[in-house]
Amino acid sequence: MKKSLLARNNDLANTKRQLEILSNGIFKNELPTFADKIKETGQFPLKPRKLEVLQINVGYMCNQVCAHCHVDAGPDRKEIMTTETMKQCLDVIRRTGAHTLDLTGGAPEMNPNFRWFVEEASKAGIKDFIVRSNLTIIRANKKYFNLPEFFKKHNVHVVSSMPHWTRGKTDKQRGNGVFDKSIKALQELNAIGYGVEGTGLKLDLVYNPSGAFLPGDQISMEKDFKKALAEDFNITFNNLFAITNLPISRFLDYLIASENYEDYMYTLVEAYNPKAVENVMCTNTLSVSWDGYLYDCDFNQMLNLKVSSRVQHISEYNEELLTNRNIIINQHCYGCTAGAGSSCQGTVA
């Protein structure tokens, strides 16, 4: 779907503003650039390895408006991947070496061709088919009520956002009523076998901090989540992914408005872990935007930092040329390399 020229110009202006803040932020003590930091350990330039994950954003439309959302998704977003672009993605899926297809949004299920795309992509031999669901979409209205059965039919690996096991902390980050709808959706997924041992139906949860701080230890948090959700709601799941909030989009706006930006950036830099650089997701993942353009990761996608290659659109896909590119980096990359590291699959170090 097309956006108005005014809306596109506003998006581009905001993206440019955020890039200037990230690149030229004024601090009491000068922050080292991420490029200089990885030069110290001989990891510059950052290069991709063999492509394993194709992450496709099928649209920014969402039924929620979450405070930390790096996609800036919401009900008013009109960017939706067309069937033409989906067909181009399917062509690449059939001939690439990637073993994982990761569908994201917004709420990917709100793309009107979502189910068709899943059905077609599931025929392509993908070993791990991920859909990143916000859970509440399952309870949004009756046309989504049978999503759990649809996921099961195609053996979809469901990865769902869950800020906390308590109502207060979850609703504060994601909106009033989100917790109760999320619990109901998780119970429905459990009822058909998701997250239940021995079924092979994978259900993972994603935790993002609710403020300007790093996530705690992923293993410890997973134990706490499993204990609380099992005792209070008889809910089970497979894994918890702890993801650091990157200083982009809505979260960057929050950091600036709350006067936490400088302290948060210092926190990320001080927690820098060179071991995390070895496994950051941009080294084995390629991100595809709703309009088919290629990015090193979905965070770069939100900053409009396309891949450094003469191949920049899925319709021109050339694995050899893309493998030989340098990965585009900026100060937000500190978020993926702080502490135990962070990726869409949780910690990396």
Q: What is the pLDDT of residue 30?
A: 79
Q: Calculate mean pLDDT across residues 20-25.
A: 79
Determine the Cα–Cα distance for residues 319 and 329; give it in Å rounded to an integer: 20
- HSE, side-chain direction, 13 A CA sphere, residue 129: 21
Residue type, 315: S
Instruction: Measure Cα distances from 247 to 206, 254, 255 in Å.
Output: 18, 9, 8
Query: Exposed (0-12), middle (13-18) or buried (19+): which is 333, by Cβ within 10 Å?
Result: buried
Element (H, E) at 184: helix 178-191
Q: Model pTM?
A: 0.93
Residue 90 scores a pLDDT above 50: yes
Determine the Cα–Cα distance for residues 318 and 329; give it in Å rounded to an integer: 22
Query: Exposed (0-12), middle (13-18) or buried (19+): which is 204, by Cβ within 10 Å?
Result: buried
- 3 state SS of 202: coil
Residue 68 scores a pLDDT above 80: no
Is the Cα dihedral 294, 129, 85, 52 positive or negative?
positive
Q: Calculate mean pLDDT across residues 205-223.
A: 94
Q: What is the pLDDT of residue 328?
A: 98
Query: Exposed (0-12), middle (13-18) or buried (19+): which is 239, by Cβ within 10 Å?
Result: middle
Instruction: Measure Cα distances from 163 to 196, 222, 242 in Å.
Output: 21, 12, 10
Q: What is the pLDDT of residue 278?
A: 93
Q: Go through 131-159 and write b for each residue having 16 or more CB atoms within 10 A of its CB, e for each that does not.
A: bbbbbbbbbbeeebeebbebbbeeebbbb
Q: Do 113 and 86 touch, CB atoms closer than 8 A?
A: yes
247 vs 11, residue with greater confidence: 247
Q: Read off φ and ψ for residue 239, nearest 5 degrees.
A: -135, 155
Mean pLDDT of the chain: 92
Determine the Cα–Cα distance for residues 47 and 282; give it in Å rounded to an integer: 9
Largest CA distance in the chain: 55
Instruction: Measure Cα distances from 223 to 73, 133, 201 in Å.
Output: 30, 22, 20
pLDDT tens, 114-168?
A: 999 999 998 887 889 999 999 999 988 899 999 999 999 999 999 999 989 999 9
Residue 196 scores a pLDDT above 90: yes
Q: Which CATH number fits domain 42-336: 3.30.420.40, 3.40.109.10, 3.40.190.150, 3.20.20.70?
A: 3.20.20.70
